[in-house]
Structure 1
């Protein structure tokens, strides 16, 4: 018998299909993995914006995670939208016993720079979920909140990553897409002192909705396939760049469109049952 490489996403649902659970499942599938999900919130959303959020009760989120982990046993977990402190506690309680890579994309700040969660939720995320995470992937706005400092360039990103590491996670990848330029930089720092810069060219397009969700999901998918973290990030960064390029001229709705997740889909990958 063989198994699929499976991944669990714990995140919100995007009714527009470009981000959240929908982007995560598309990414897992495109990279040859079997996707499972635990939905934390239902958003009223399209390419133009978010018009409402309905939170799922923490106990239901907890139980979604448990039944999937106890049966299908995903080899990696991606965590996205956790907008209340109670949800953070419930998720931590559900995943604590499983020794699988956890990629946490702390959805705290919108592209506009507006905070999406309260300060006490941020503190609970750091206390409950950061210690369980093999990698935390904040964007520049979120990293500024977590590190308590402004970020204006690549060196600031390095310093901020070193500060965030002190809050208890094992590795940080700060996404630099909000720092405009001909080239984009993501900065990686881990508790072993390793530092890496991931560089990609800037693509002129409005179709970037769900980029952060897609990157963290791709890292989780490659991790589930047994690829070590830095190489998983390298592969995931390339995948996202190619997905943006493939969808740059496609119009989906009247606002910020999605990536083309299926520009080169892989067949479902299996491995021997252990």
Structure 2
């Protein structure tokens, strides 16, 4: 059993809808804590309505007080006060095997936090010390680490060291493992850099040419959480999750759902 703490995507491609689909692909029952309701589709986000911290706290306590959650992941948190609520449960030891997906901006480019830099600081200071895995993309890693986004986006090989440095900083901030995602890089490959206290590992793979990439970050982090819930070591869960996302992108590459950036095929696995 796994838990997602995230916002709702009315288009069904990202957020807790994507998380539940990814959990289900691996046979893991999913539970939810809703942090915000969004009005969005494949072209962008039309509106965001955050839930108050006390509503998030009540959902957390209801789920954790009854159900055997074996891993959890965060997505859109939106507000430092909500981060604090989640961090309190982590400190109490009731949110095991936490995967932190530091969602600051939607795939469309729309902001999902009123002040992304303040939210990033709260995530870095309060959640990373409890994170089994943190999964930022390049812009998120830059904000979390106060680093520039690599200027070599068209030369992925030259960006690897910058990604590794961001990963090292995230591990120094308390995360057990950091996965700095290379989806924003240009070129034929899509490398992710995995950093822990003991290694720096590049997980490479071919880039899938498609406009249907909405929710890939949510899907990856949820797939990692599913693996952790099943007792997999973190690196094995990350490797399986990357393979799953690549397959989901490939399966959905020619879909025409909506007029913007569509979802991946969460049903491709199993």
TM-score calculated relative to the size of structure 2: 0.92
For the residues of structure 2 that align with 1:220 and 1:247, how far apart are their CA atoms?
23
Q: What residue is the counterpart of 2:175 in the other structure? A: 169
Q: Tell me, which stretches of 5 or more residues in structure 1 are unaligned?
A: 1-5, 266-274
Q: What residue is the counterpart of 2:13 in the other structure? A: 18
Structure 1 residue 66 displacement after superposition: 1.5
Q: What residue is the counterpart of 2:259 in the other structure? A: 254
For the residues of structure 2 that align with 1:66 and 1:128, how far apart are their CA atoms?
19
Q: Does 1:105 align with 2:101?
A: yes
**Closer, same or farther: CA 22–110 of 1 in aligned 2, 3 Å:** closer
SS at match of 1:131: helix
Q: Does 1:205 align with 2:210?
A: yes
Q: Does 1:82 align with 2:77?
A: yes
SS at match of 1:78: strand
For the residues of structure 1 that align with 2:135 and 2:39, how far apart are their CA atoms?
24
The match for 1:57 among 44, 52, 57 is 52
For the residues of structure 2 that align with 1:124 and 1:264, how far apart are their CA atoms?
35
Asked whether the equivalents of residues 101 and 134 of structure 1 are also in contact (C-alpha less than 8 Å), the reply is yes
Structure with bigger RCO (C-alpha 8 Å, 6+ apart): 1
The match for 1:233 among 226, 233, 238 is 238
Structure 1 residue 223 displacement after superposition: 0.7
For the residues of structure 2 that align with 1:204 and 1:68, how far apart are their CA atoms?
39
Structure 1 residue 193 displacement after superposition: 2.5
TM-score calculated relative to the size of structure 1: 0.91
For the residues of structure 1 that align with 2:12 and 2:111, how far apart are their CA atoms?
22
Q: Does 1:154 align with 2:160?
A: yes
Asked whether the equivalents of residues 210 and 259 of structure 1 are also in contact (C-alpha less than 8 Å), the reply is yes
Structure 1 residue 115 displacement after superposition: 5.3
Aligned residues: 259
Structure 1 residue 163 displacement after superposition: 2.0
Range 55-64 or range 143-152, more displaced = 143-152
SS at match of 2:12: coil
Q: What residue is the counterpart of 2:88 in the other structure? A: 93
Structure 1 residue 23 displacement after superposition: 0.2
Give the aligned CA root-mean-square deviation in angstroms.
Answer: 1.4
